[in-house]
A = this chain, B = another copy of it.
Amino acid sequence: MNPPYLLGVLGGMGPLATVDFMHKLLLATPAVNDQQQIPVVAWNVPQIADRQRALAGKGPSPLPQLLQALNKLTEAGASHIAIPCNTAHHWYDALAAASAVPVLHIVETTLSALETLTERPKHVGLIATQGTLDAGWYQQGLTKLGISPVLPTAKEMDEWFVPGCYAVKRDERVQAGELLLRQALALQERGAQILILACTEVPLALQAVDTSSLTPTLDPATLLAERCSQLWQAQHPF
């Protein structure tokens, strides 16, 4: 028999994105009382080495702290682990290898959702950290689906994405939203029919501004939350 379902959220990257993910878990579950809601233990400790800086060779690796957090969650009884941070999936293989329980993969979940679309787009834009872009997971997955990825330029990353992302971390969401909206519109102008918001800070920023001119978006954090909730609902039918 499987152990009871308890989702371990390996968070803190950033802390607001983790809280947003926990909210998305609740929205993904059609509960009519508290007891039907998804059970969660969350590690929202943001004193973890900066992922973007680590991958740029400018700071220490967050892996030791990620492993420690994973242990805390499994010791507390987590039956599954979710990581609401795309960039942190750079260390996914090491985490999955060290984990006694399944670790869900935010990129695979997102690509599966794209695969099931009845009308598959030809061009999909990717708003992500340099670390996520360099890893190439989304681009490879899109290419396999016959979709060509539309990527930010180096200049756009410097002027819009990076400052927008760090503005969310200061809770300056309107400023962040304006910067990331420009990034999104630039990808759209280059042909993106759908935009993957492949950094969990991005939807938080875009919520703060008028996105009515924007093409449809896919939010990996929402898709990951829905996957986690499906696993819970399968063990606890209601």
Chain A residues within CB distance 8 Å of chain B: 6, 12-16, 18-19, 22-23, 26-27, 31-48, 50, 72, 75-77, 166, 169-171
Q: Can you list 13 residue pairs at the A/B interface with Cβ under 8 Å?
A: A6-B45, A13-B34, A14-B37, A15-B26, A15-B34, A18-B22, A31-B169, A31-B170, A32-B170, A34-B50, A36-B46, A39-B45, A41-B45
The answer to whether B42 and A37 have CB atoms under 8 Å apart is no
Point out which of A6, A39, A50, A166 has the most chain B C-beta atoms below 10 A from its C-beta.
A39
The CA of A13 and the CA of B33, in the complex, are separated in Å by: 11
A169 partner residues in chain B, CB cutoff 8 A: 31-34
The answer to whether B46 and A170 have CB atoms under 8 Å apart is no
A18 partner residues in chain B, CB cutoff 8 A: 22
Min CB–CB distance A174 → chain B (angstroms): 15
Asked if A42 meets B42 with Cβ closer than 8 Å, knowing A22-B19, A23-B19, A34-B14, the reply is yes
